[in-house]
């Protein structure tokens, strides 16, 4: 069957790479990129782009009507750090954007919906290591609260209305193509840019702050593998734990030093508000359910992702 795919929030860190990969698989004309920010390429002579605000239900309705998508990816969101600066907007965008899409997907009988969750669903009383799929979850950021509530809505629409909605709890995503968008894990991207530009980096997270991370290539591959998995293999309709690698700023710096021997790492003298968010998140994730259900296996370890980041940023 020919797929028609709509990606809402296409110009962010994930969307930029997901759209490219989906267009490679399904063809340019079958993947519609939608965002409130216009892309920096020529829209008239390129694959389809639509200006869409996911909070405007009429506007999204127009997209469903025009393209009759078989798959919809909803990526538009405010992340952990920017969410804390504007909690009400974060709740509105992260929650009402999702409900708008779930309702329209039912109305237009969209075959599959994808919506990303995050390790931000865990909180200060969650375990710290190898967090299981189902453990205490008491997020204390508005981003985490909205992601946990969104997961419950996804499962609800699946169980009540039979909507085939799929989701992954992303860790911090490391990539070089598009800038990250206001997260707590963004230091792990900034460090590469500064290592190449200045030979030094000042981290806003403290030494010893270990967090789950993943290279974008793995994240995109895993996302598409989940969407391609047969529906009867999907046992989690809230959101799958998804693991890659875990490291602290100093471990990452030591890896970078293997390629840039003079690279130095320091830390901000004032405690950054993002530290408190990082402290509430786990160090590592148990993703055995994703491995069992749809054969998830990451390919990039710390050494491989460091080499790939540095090689691509040098170009």
Give catalytic residue positions.
143
User: Under rule CB under 6 A, which residues in 48-87 are in contact with ligand AKB?
Assistant: 79-80
Cβ-Cβ contacts under 8 Å for 210 (sequence gap 6 or more): 246, 247, 248, 251, 283, 284
Instruction: From 155, 9, 154, select the one nearest 77 (Cα to Cα).
Output: 9
Least distance CB 116 / ligand AKB (angstroms) = 8
Q: Whole-angstrom Cα distance, residue 41 to residue 18?
A: 16
Least distance CB 254 / ligand AKB (angstroms) = 22
Q: Which stretch binds ligand AKB (CB under 6 A): 18-26, 34-42, 165-173, 259-267?
A: 165-173
Residue 120 near ligand AKB by CB under 6 A: yes
Closer residue to ligand AKB (CB): 119 or 226: 119
Tokens in use for 315? 């170009």
State the Cα torsion 3-152-10-189 to the nearest 10°: -130
Q: Whole-angstrom Cα distance, residue 4 to residue 179?
A: 27
Q: Which stretch binds ligand AKB (CB under 6 A): 55-63, 112-120, 232-240, 255-263?
A: 112-120
Cα angle for residues 95, 99, 100 (degrees, 5° grid): 115
Tokens in use for 288? 């055995």
Distances (CA, A) of 197 to 185, 263, 309: 20, 10, 13
Closer residue to ligand AKB (CB): 184 or 203: 184
User: Under rule CB under 6 A, which residues in 140-159 are in contact with ligand AKB?
Assistant: 143
Q: Whole-angstrom Cα distance, residue 186 to residue 137?
A: 23
SS3 content of the chain, % helix, strand, coil (to 5): 45, 15, 40
Residue 249 near ligand AKB by CB under 6 A: no
Residue 172 near ligand AKB by CB under 6 A: yes
How many residues interact with ligand AKB (rule CB under 6 A)?
Answer: 12
Residue 245 near ligand AKB by CB under 6 A: no
Least distance CB 185 / ligand AKB (angstroms) = 4
Candidate residues 64, 122, 157, 170; the one interacting with ligand AKB per rule CB under 6 A: 170
Closer residue to ligand AKB (CB): 63 or 188: 188
Q: Whole-angstrom Cα distance, residue 43 to residue 275?
A: 40
Q: Which stretch binds ligand AKB (CB under 6 A): 46-54, 65-73, 178-186, 230-238?
A: 178-186
Residue 183 near ligand AKB by CB under 6 A: yes
Candidate residues 113, 119, 163, 195; the one interacting with ligand AKB per rule CB under 6 A: 119
Candidate residues 185, 223, 238, 241; the one interacting with ligand AKB per rule CB under 6 A: 185
**The pairing of beta strand 211-215 with beta strand 49-51:** unpaired
Instruction: From 56, 55, 98, 105, select the one nearest 75 (Cα to Cα).
Output: 98
**The pairing of beta strand 71-74 with beta strand 211-215:** unpaired
Least distance CB 189 / ligand AKB (angstroms) = 10
- Interface with ligand AKB by CB under 6 A: which residues? 79-80, 118-120, 143, 170-172, 183-185
């Amino acid at each position: 069957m020919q797929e028609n795919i709509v990606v809402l929030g296409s110009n962010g860190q994930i969307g930029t790479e997901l759209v490219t990969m989906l267009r490679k698989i399904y063809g340019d004309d079958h993947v519609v990129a939608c965002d409130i920010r216009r892309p920096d390429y020529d829209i008239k002579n390129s694959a389809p782009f639509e200006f869409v605000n996911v909070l405007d239900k009429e506007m999204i309705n127009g997209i469903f009507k025009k393209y009759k998508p078989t798959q919809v990816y909803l990526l538009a969101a405010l992340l952990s750090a920017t969410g804390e600066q504007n909690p009400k907007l974060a709740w509105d965008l992260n929650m009402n954007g999702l409900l708008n899409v779930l309702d329209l997907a039912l109305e237009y009988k969209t075959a599959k919906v994808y919506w990303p969750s995050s390790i931000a669903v865990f909180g200060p009383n969650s375990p710290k290591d190898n967090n299981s799929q189902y453990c205490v979850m008491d997020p204390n950021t508005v981003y985490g609260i909205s992601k946990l509530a969104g997961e419950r809505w996804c499962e609800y629409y699946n169980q009540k209305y039979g909507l085939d909605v799929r989701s992954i709890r992303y860790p911090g995503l490391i990539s070089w193509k598009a800038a990250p968008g206001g997260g707590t894990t963004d230091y792990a991207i900034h460090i590469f840019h500064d290592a190449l530009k200045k030979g030094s980096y000042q981290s806003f997270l403290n030494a010893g702050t270990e967090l789950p991370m993943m290279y974008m290539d793995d994240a995109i591959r895993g996302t598409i593998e989940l969407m391609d998995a047969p529906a009867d293999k999907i046992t989690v309709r809230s959101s799958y734990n998804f693991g890659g690698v875990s490291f602290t700023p100093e471990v990452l710096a030591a890896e970078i030093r293997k390629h840039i021997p003079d690279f130095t790492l320091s830390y901000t003298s004032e405690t950054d508000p993002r530290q408190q968010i990082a402290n509430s998140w786990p160090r590592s994730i148990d993703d055995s359910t994703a491995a069992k259900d749809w054969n998830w296996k990451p390919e990039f370890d710390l050494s491989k992702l460091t080499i790939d980041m540095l090689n691509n940023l040098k170009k």
